[in-house]
Chains A and B, each alone.
Chain A
Amino acid sequence: MSLYWKCQIAGWSFYGLLAAGIPTLYGGMRWTVALRAALGIAMGLFLTEQLRKFMLRRGWPWLPLHRLAPRVVLAAVVVATLMVLILLPLLLVNITAADPAGPLTTIFSIHLIFVLGWILLYLGYHNLRRVHVAEAEKLRLELAMRETELSALRAQLNPHFLFNSLNSLRGLITENPSHAQEAVTRLAALLRHTLQLSRARTTTLEDELEATRHYLELESLRFESRLQYEIDSDLESLDVAVPPMLIQNLVENAIKHGIARLPEGGSVRVTIRKSSQDLHIRVTNTGTLADEPGKRGIGLTNSLERLRLMFGEGVSFGIRQLEPSEVACDVVVPIATRRPARTASRPSSTVR
């Protein structure tokens, strides 16, 4: 049984006890007294339940105090009057005084106080619970926010990639010095791109593709013939805003979940297409999706959440098995030259 009904029953039982007890003290127990108490309880339960539904329908719990107060008083008067009127025949039978007006006023006042108390208790509890729920919701949102923030930060600099690259580089220095020099330059460019992103909310497609190319070249040092790649873009202008690291992260995933698991390796292909309003980014890799259920879901959810933070609802994100041994990841983001919707720029104080 809900707390509401427990309180209802306890409260109206107390009412019934008073309604039966007081006349009994004055004039002894009579069946009319018992009937009046029982009818009072039934009336109370029924009327307050109707009142509750009415208040919720009219949104009373959400009203400001100055508009709520007169409504509460009026409702209490109406309900108390109704109760007393319906009980009136039974009440009159039990009033022994010559003039029933005095006792009736007292009875009405008691009913009024009872109903008023009921409304205040109900609204008070309702409000308290709403505050709690809101608080919990706020916490949950903040947590989700921080989570995406964190995963974005983590994604910026994958230590595994960095140390593997450095290790390959160390080997390359004696083996092929000029190739090693080139790789150092690439790594520097990639790190610079990554570090600048911590300041910028967006980057241009041009910069992002450049960084992705560096990234793929560096991974090629590790994977050698196991990694083939291709970047294919049909855009004339690359001056389109994209979330930083978006393409690079997709490629990173393609390598981590695809190529790195295959002893024979495979290929990664980045395709960029533009429609009238959207930018279509597709990253395919050799491999199968079914490898790792569950684990992949979290990364997907985070990526989607990040995109939503940046672009609002106009984004789509999907990953699927394109062919028996090829996985495709598709991202569609609305095109906004240079600047996307600024939904992402929320005050940092809410995050700290």
Chain B
Amino acid sequence: LRALIIDDERLARSELRRLLGHHPEVEIVGEAQNATEARRAIDDLEPDILFLDVQMPGESGFELLASLEAVPLVVFTTAYDEYALRAFEVSALDYLVKPIDPKRLASTVERLLVTWRAGSASSLPGESRTDRAKAPLSPHDRVFVTEGERSWLVELGTISLFESEGNYTRVLFGKEKPLINRSLNQLEARLDERVFFRANRSQIVNLKAVRGIHPWFGGRLMAELEGGQEVTLSRRRARAFRELMSV
């Protein structure tokens, strides 16, 4: 389990490093003291887990996450619990209050390992990290979404529909439909086409969320989603869809 520690305070970082020293399963691959450094470190080191301080100068931990294409496992660290409540709503794996209780850290690490093993089983063995960086995002990759005061860490696989709204994209999962700060075209370039299918100019649909496909007039197709939404596949995309399905 490769970890990156992100905290603006040197003493806080070294303290966490020392505490994690008791857990050999966790390898600390780097440290960062602000969001900019963290982004670079995440690109270079591809950590499996971030220990992330919420309050930092410049961008906050939340802003950092929102800017990431795919979010690794995250444990928030915070000195006071005002942000921790928000962290919980994002269903982040865990959060730790500073000063960190070694027992609490131990149970967090245990939980992390369980989640990590479950997650890494789904990715191909022998797949190198650099390959993965260029490979499309898998349904298990997670994105961080904030809207107003609420935020979510969403597995791509649970998103049923992406809808273009100018430079933003509205994502549908469960009962929520917040906006994310990326255009539909940007997303399409990174999404796995076998799962996330461009239905028309303004929508990408998760094929796993499709309940039924009906022929529609003009050579189009109508996809009915689990949530009850109906998405029309344009004529050109309907043809592509038939080809994809016949393979």
Contact = CB atoms under 8 A, between A and B. Distances in A.
Contacts of A175: 11, 14
B219 interface: no
Interface string B6-17: 001111101100
B24 interface: no
A303 to B, nearest CB: 21
A223 B9 contact: yes
Interface residues of B, number: 21
A213 interface: no
Contacts of B33: 263
Residue of A168, A172, A221, A261 with most chain B CB atoms under a 10 A cut-off: A168
A260 B82 CA distance: 17
A271 B170 CA distance: 52
A168 B9 contact: yes
Nearest to B78: A163
Given A167-B11, A167-B79, A171-B11, A263 B58 contact: yes
Contact of A263 (B34, B55, B97): B34
B80 A163 contact: yes
A163 B98 contact: yes
A166 B8 CA distance: 16
Given A159-B80, A160-B79, A167 B57 contact: no
Contacts of A129: none
Contact of B11 (A222, A260, A263): A222
- Contact residues of A: prevailing secondary structure: helix
A223 B36 CA distance: 18
Interface in A256-281: 260-263, 265
Residue of A164, A167, A262 with most chain B CB atoms under a 10 A cut-off: A167
A262 B9 CA distance: 13
A168 B12 contact: yes
Contacts of A169: 99
A170 interface: yes
A345 B97 CA distance: 39
A147 B98 CA distance: 29
Interface string A71-97: 000000000000000000000000000
A169 B100 CA distance: 12
A135 interface: no
A170 B100 CA distance: 9
A34 to B, nearest CB: 68
A171 B14 contact: yes
Contacts of A168: 9, 11-12
A348 interface: no
13 contacts: A160-B82, A163-B98, A166-B98, A167-B12, A167-B98, A167-B99, A168-B9, A171-B14, A171-B15, A222-B11, A224-B9, A260-B55, A263-B33
